Amino acid sequence: MHDTDPQGPVGELIALLSLERLEDNLFRGQSRDIGTRFVFGGQVLGQALSAAQATVDDARVVHSLHAYFLRAGDIEHPIVYDVDRTRDGGSFSVRRVTAIQHGKPIFVFTASFQQHETGAEHQLPMPVVPAPEDLPALPPIDPAVLARLSPKLKRWLDRGGPFVFRHVYPRDELNPSKRPPFQQVWFKLAEPIGDAPELHHAMLAYASDFHLIGTATFPHGISYYQPNVVMASLDHAMWFHRPFRVDQWLLYSCDSPTAQDARGLARGMIYDTRGTLVASTTQEGLMRIVPAQGGSTLGAH
């Protein structure tokens, strides 16, 4: 259980990830406009994982997911999630989920679940970075600058979302400079939530879509805030290694090893404050420069 204000940003995110069960394997999730042109990819990731988790025995916890974004999601309409119970073995369960909107699949997703086992362990160390408490919040954008932006972009930049972010090396996304393709961002939920691991996993899947593919833009001095840059996630993979809480500080350490053919690849490792590697991610995204009259999709999928 949790005592989060249901009308606040965190309460709204909990509601967004709490799907309506239509049948044993069929679920419906609402969409939320956070300032992106289309449905935010993290929303579909989190909702698909919520649907899959609802069909798996509680003793088995998600350890990996792999997804493809097929079509842009419509913010104004709900999404139906059709779960296929692909396999329940002695130790592992696999679920395939298709997200459907307006009668067409917009997203396909596979997740694997495992009951806890002991075995050999190792991990790469966390980068040496300042603690989140020692980093300032990003300064507010000048109201005069905000006034010149589109309503969608203004909503994205001026929103009070459910997550708090602290950038180790901040970048001005409205006037980006060229820099190497690396970044570290501390993040956590703005309010504490309950102990249910399935909620924390769905929340982390949602948050993993922030900042990741944007790392691939750094060497090129471009940003998805610019009107001539179109960006969209093409796929997303995630591995959950160890227990964590998304309402406590986590470090997202991201890098982009390559970009080509209007696509960029980004990788991320997520650590807790003790330096424990709790999850890893990869994502490939469209990075297309178009005539200035085009528009940024801000994570359209």
- Active site (catalytic) residues: 209, 233, 283
Rounded-to-integer distance, Cα 72 and Cα 79, Å: 12
What are the distances in angstroms from CA 263 to CA 230, 234, 258, 297? 11, 9, 9, 15
DSSP 120: -
Rounded-to-integer distance, Cα 231 and Cα 290, Å: 11
Rounded-to-integer distance, Cα 276 and Cα 193, Å: 21
Rounded-to-integer distance, Cα 25 and Cα 52, Å: 9
Under DSSP, is residue 204 helix (H, G, I), strand (E, B) or coil?
Answer: helix
| Residue 52 backbone class (left: φ over 0; alpha: ψ -120 to 50; beta: rest) | alpha
Q: Rounded to the nearest 5 degrees, what angle is found at the Cα of 170, between the Cα atoms of 289 and 262?
A: 20
Matching residue, tokens 């916890």: 61
Amino acid found at 224: Y
